[in-house]
Amino acid sequence: MPDAKPTTFGDLEPSRWPGERLGLPESGSRSVARVGRRIGALAIDWAAALLIAMLFAPYSTLEHSWATLGVFAVMQIVFIPTIGGSVGHRICGMHLVPISGGWIGLWRPLVRTLLLVIVVPALVWDSDQRGFHDKVAGTVLIRA
């Protein structure tokens, strides 16, 4: 019975490359963005949020920490639907797209960001290198 279709997710064959099951190429444009680019983009976004938060609260205070998190979240929610990703994503050559195609909309960046700021979903990845926050939002971060 080698031609039988899988009945559960655990029965699926492993992907040969991240994004294969999503119909994305193995490398180049529109392939799944790899971890190095993601970390670089996150560092750029967090650094920008740290600097902007200094306008609202003195550095090394609890208020500054919350302001940084708030600025980071606002940047994600505003820039994903308007420029296709955060400033860090765009600088690192990536953009965020819905797996169903079309415009990303407003709810996806909101849900994705709310999950991202609690950190844990970003640390849980599948074989397509999509974090839980991207799975819930129905998005994938791809190379531009």
Per-residue pLDDT at 8 exceeds 60: no
Residue 2 has pLDDT above 80, yes or no: no
| H-type alpha helices, 1-142 | 35-53, 62-83, 87-91, 107-116, 120-123, 132-137
Please determine, for residue 10, whether its predicted confidence score (pLDDT) is greater than 70: no
Domain that holds residue 117: 30-143
Q: Return d(Cα 137, Cα 56) in angstroms, integer.
A: 30
Please report which confidence band the pLDDT of residue 6 belongs to, taking 50, 70 and 90 as the band edges.
very low
Distance CA 13, CA 122 (A): 24
What is the SS3 assignment for 63-79? HHHHHHHHHHHHHHHHH
Residue 95 parent element (H or E): strand 94-98
Rounded CA separation 61/59 (Å): 6
Whether the Cβ atoms of residue 122 and residue 116 lie closer than 8 Å to each other: yes
User: Does residue 57 fall inside a structural domain?
Assistant: yes
Task: Specify if 63 maps to a domain.
Answer: yes
Assess whether pLDDT exceeds 90 at residue 67. yes
The number of folded domains in the chain is 1
pLDDT attached to residue 12: 62
- Mean pLDDT for 52-75 is 96
Average pLDDT for residues 35-47, to the nearest whole number?
95
| 60, part of any domain | yes
CA–CA gap between residue 119 and residue 37 (Å, rounded): 18
SS3 breakdown of the chain: % helix, strand, coil, rounded to 5? 50, 10, 40
Return d(Cα 133, Cα 144) in angstroms, integer.
20
Judged against a pLDDT cut of 60, whether residue 7 lies above it is answered with: no
